Amino acid sequence: LTFAQQSAENIIIKENKEELKTKYVCDVCGYVYDFNIGDDVHGIKSTTSFKDLPEDWKCPICGVSKKQFTKIN
């Protein structure tokens, strides 16, 4: 690998590690989606990142779309 390729690979790994720690909160009801927990209501297993949730995924508490969630740390 070239230096540029290694640098790009390291950035991707760092971003993925950050995503693992990131939580998202529903702006309507306060439900928190946590990568480490997933969403049993919709059959989403733990280790599924928020960005990998299906586009039609809804908040398990109030039913709003992913677009109404805010990233938190």
pTM of the predicted protein model: 0.72
Strand partners, 44: 39
Q: What is the pLDDT of residue 12?
A: 47
Q: How far apart are CA 34 and CA 9, in angstroms?
A: 25
Residue 73 has pLDDT above 80, yes or no: no
Helix (H) or strand (E) holding 14: helix 3-21
Residue 56 has pLDDT above 80, yes or no: yes
Q: What is the pLDDT of residue 22?
A: 83
Q: Classify 42 as helix, strand or coil.
A: helix
Tens of pLDDT, residue by residue over 9-42, are 555 455 555 666 689 999 999 999 998 899 999 9
Q: How far apart are CA 23 and CA 43, in angstroms?
A: 18
